[in-house]
């Protein structure tokens, strides 16, 4: 951008701020820059940067080292290698997620991408960055995929390839809201398919919220079944309340059964 273009950009930005003053991501308060929030609200957010499970990232404040696993991952190792989230999904962070997911508010994407990279530095290890896909019917109705917005923002910041078409949701699934852990797993079983060659590549899956990890598991299963080398995951927020340990009553008999999630 040359000097003249920079001046025009600054003038345009100043005029836009006068007409549409930037508002906080968490309130109606005016802020200095688009996509920010008041310092006291930022400090109150529960960022998940502390010790946690080496696989799923569930916070474990008393963890003595980086290789500690939570009880769920010890009993049922996930198909993905690592999963992390920037924020705990709680009363304070909920509006950030809902304004993105249902309100189509994109002004926080740059901040969100930075937070997610801080939580998951392994993002830069990925050969490609993928969003958790929506079924075409839901994408048509909503008009956008908030996970794709997040994935694109992260890919741009991490300078990694972004590929929104590699993974597709081939079956429309009901909302996961209100389902048990086992119900969530059944709901997304076999719902995803890979459309391009993935053999020997490492992937990063991006979603807005991680609850039980069932959707990420189903996506990872499709990628690994197609020959992916490794799948990691990152979400903007995750539920951190205690989760019921749903251990199968029968042992898993083969590696193939791991992919039939």
Is the distance from CB of 236 to CB of 87 less than 8 angstroms? Answer: yes
pLDDT at 259 exceeding the cut of 70: no
Angle, helices 94-101/109-119, rounded to nearest 10 degrees: 120
Band (pLDDT 50/70/90 cuts) for residue 34 is: confident
Q: For each of the domains in the chain, give its residue range(s) and CATH number, in order of start.
A: 45-259 (3.40.50.2020)
In order of 97, 144, 164, 223, the CA distances from 89 in angstroms are: 8, 22, 25, 27
Confidence of residue 19 (pLDDT cuts 50, 70, 90): very low
pLDDT digits (tens, 9 = 90+) for 134-144: 988 888 889 99
**DSSP label at 121?**
G
- Condensed to tens digits (0 to 9), the pLDDT of residues 85-111 reads 999 999 999 999 999 999 999 999 999
pLDDT value at position 175?
Answer: 61
Whether this model's pTM surpasses 0.85? no
pLDDT at 245 over 80: no
Give pLDDT tens digits for 38-66. Answer: 999 999 999 999 999 999 999 998 877 88
SS3 120: coil
Once rounded to an integer, what is the mean pLDDT over residues 17-36?
A: 78
Inform me whether the pLDDT recorded for 243 exceeds 60.
no
Using pLDDT thresholds of 50, 70 and 90, give the confidence band for residue 4: low
pLDDT tens-place string over residues 166-188 = 999 887 665 666 555 666 566 56
Residue pLDDT, tens place only, 195-221: 999 999 999 999 999 998 889 999 999
Q: Are 247 and 76 in contact (CB under 8 A)?
A: yes
pLDDT band (50, 70, 90) for residue 260 = very low
| 252 or 85: which leads in pLDDT | 85
SS (H, E, C) 226-239: CCCCEEEEEEEEEC
Counting every residue written for the chain, the total comes to 261
- Helix, strand or coil for residue 53? coil
More confident residue, 190 or 104: 104
Contact assessment for residue 115 and residue 47, using Cβ atoms and an 8 Å cutoff: yes
Mean model confidence pLDDT for the chain: 84
């Amino acid at each position: 951008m040359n000097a003249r273009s920079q001046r025009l950009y600054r003038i345009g930005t100043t005029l836009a701020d006068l007409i549409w003053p930037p508002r906080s991501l968490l309130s109606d308060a005016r802020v200095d820059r688009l996509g920010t929030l008041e310092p006291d609200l930022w400090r109150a957010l529960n960022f998940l940067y502390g010790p946690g499970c080496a696989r799923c990232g569930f916070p474990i404040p008393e963890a003595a080292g980086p290789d500690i696993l939570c009880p769920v991952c010890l009993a049922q190792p996930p198909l993905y290698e690592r999963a992390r989230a920037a924020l705990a999904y709680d009363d304070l962070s909920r509006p950030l997620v809902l304004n993105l997911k249902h309100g189509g508010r994109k002004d926080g994407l740059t901040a969100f991408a930075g937070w997610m990279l801080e939580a998951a530095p392994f993002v830069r290890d990925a050969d490609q960055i993928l969003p958790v896909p929506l079924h075409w019917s839901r994408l048509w109705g909503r008009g956008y995929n908030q996970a794709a917005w997040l994935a694109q923002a992260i890919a741009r910041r991490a300078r990694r390839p972004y590929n929104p078409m590699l993974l597709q949701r081939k079956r429309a699934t009901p909302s996961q809201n209100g389902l048990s852990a086992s119900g969530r797993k059944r709901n997304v079983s076999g719902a995803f398919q890979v459309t391009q060659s993935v053999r020997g590549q490492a992937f990063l899956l991006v979603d807005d919220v991680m609850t039980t990890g069932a959707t990420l598991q189903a996506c990872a299963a499709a990628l690994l079944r197609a020959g992916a080398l490794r799948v990691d995951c990152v979400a903007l927020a995750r539920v951190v309340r205690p989760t019921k340990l749903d251990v199968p009553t029968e042992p898993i008999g083969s590696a193939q059964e791991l992919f039939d999630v």
